[in-house]
Amino acid sequence: MIKSAFLATLLGVALSKEMAQDKVKAAALYKTGIIHSRIMTNKHATFDRQRAAGAYASAQYPELGYTECVDGLAVAISGDANNTFRCNNVDLYHFLSHEALGSNGGEGSSSWGWTSPSGREFLAIGQSDGAAFAEITSEGKLSYLGRLPQYSVPSIWREIRGYKNYMVIGSEAEGHNIQIFDMAKLLDVDPASPVTFSNDADLTGLFKGLPIGRTHNVVVNEETNWVYAVGAAPRNSSCAAGLIFIDLSDPAHPTSPGCDPQDGYVHDAQCLVYNGPDTAYVGHEICYGYNEDTLTIYDVTNKPNSTVVSRTSYQGAAYTHQGWVLDTKWQQFLLLDDEYDEYDRVDPAADGYHVTYIWDISSLASPKQTGLFKSSHHSVDHNQYVWGNRTYQSNYGSGLAVLDISSIPSDPTGAGVEEVAWFDVYPEDDATPEGGVIDFVGSWSSYAGFSSGFVFVNTIERGGFVVKLKE
């Protein structure tokens, strides 16, 4: 931890800097989709190789029960390296394969949780052939309840977000559209008889207003009843794969007043009613867009006539992927992850140890990149979500990382950020010289929003892990 903090301090001073977007490079490589296409080609190469090697045949991965993390290892099966997981301050409670979670194809992706009015904790788990549903019991066990099949054809890219008691499910598969499923349907399901729900009879709603029925991601602002489809191909459509506005006031009949194509392709975003130091925007609906080479901030209060407040790039920008604000009630700082800086060997991630970029957004028109946290894990970062004073990161081959970010408001260089827990879900790369590979393997997503403290980690190859921090 000391080494990571020291590196963060040095690198934060030397390499942490926001900068204007390189418009020539942006026009030639990002707006054309060349960089995105290159990344997709590399990902497909990995996925095809893993598929051919049988890594996605999830039946090979046995169910695992409670395993304490002792001296840096959770030894789920004694003598079995592929079921021995490197860890720190995190215990394994349960693991089920994608097959045990009802999938014929596996290939896990996104996940999200819902807590019922009575306090029961449920999950929607992305897989190539649909979404699996499970309950986390009070003992930390996954209880499989059923699934919602894909709407068109299988696709490894399936993103899920919660909206009130619904799950909003998008996919990169053409013709999939956006499914809206009521999680309350799970309340009376008997785990002894899991239910395969119907896209015809069991959906609350289906949004069909995407250019070709596909979207990379779905973004939810529960407070305003809006959903945003982002990365909805093709780039040459009138929406340019930007923000597509979807009104979910009536989930059974979602409608759209239009879109915002001004900054082109949006890979991911977080949209919130603004409250923070920039008084000009208090009460406005703001979207923080992660737009391949920039942090792009939108004011989407007046739909469809939204505005771009700022576009800002940064040293190390290779593929601006995703991020999250530290505090939704006081939006002064956010964290950003870049999915390609490790892969493309760009400083400050050129050594392959992934980086979390820290931004001061006190001025929405002029955000500043104030520092970073340099991980001690050799892998590619992917998704992170902030719960309380911690960010829970899914970093492909190195798995789940939990960072204490409470120091950032007083020291935005990142020097005080500490990795307090981690759980490596991909032991297949442990024997490499760096202890991890720069590749698109392992964990895709995690969900840590349950009051029980249980954290769900979805993996591409294996299935789902339920873990919990020791403290």
The rounded mean pLDDT for the chain is 96
Say how far apart CA 49 and CA 28 lie, in whole Å.
Answer: 30
The per-residue pLDDT for 471 is: 76
Query: Which pTM was predicted?
Result: 0.96
pLDDT at 12 over 60: no
Amino acid occupying residue 60: Q
What would the two tokens of residue 74 be?
Answer: 């959770």
pLDDT at 1 over 90: no
CATH number of 2-469: 2.130.10.10
**361: phi then psi, degrees, rounded to nearest 5:** -110, 30
Say how far apart CA 250 and CA 248 lie, in whole Å.
Answer: 5
8 Å CB contact between 227 and 235 = no
Q: Around 5, how many Cα atoms within 13 Å sit in the side-chain half-sphere?
A: 15
Supply angle C-alpha 92, 94, 95, rounded to 5. Answer: 105
pLDDT at 33 over 90: yes
What mean pLDDT comes out for the span 214-229? 98
pLDDT tens across 76-118, in order? 999 999 999 999 999 999 999 999 999 999 999 999 999 999 9
pLDDT at 38 over 50: yes
Cis bond before residue 234 (omega within 30° of 0): yes
8 Å CB contact between 211 and 199 = no
pLDDT tens across 53-62, in order? 999 999 999 9
Say how far apart CA 325 and CA 361 lie, in whole Å.
Answer: 9
- Domain boundaries along the sequence of the chain: 2-469
pLDDT at 343 over 70: yes
The per-residue pLDDT for 11 is: 47
Mean pLDDT is lowest, of 11-15, 215-219, 300-304, 401-405, for: 11-15
The per-residue pLDDT for 16 is: 63
The per-residue pLDDT for 13 is: 42
pLDDT at 6 over 70: no
Quote the percentage of the chain above a pLDDT of 70.
97
Residue 114 DSSP class: E
What is the band of 7 on the pLDDT scale with cuts at 50, 70, 90?
A: very low
The helix/strand/coil state of 73 is strand
Report the first-to-last Cα separation within the chain, whole angstroms: 18
Amino acid occupying residue 225: N
pLDDT at 271 over 90: yes
What mean pLDDT comes out for the span 266-281? 98
* Sheet of strand 73-75, all strands in order from the earlier edge strand to the far edge: 73-75, 84-88, 418-423, 400-404, 390-394, 383-387
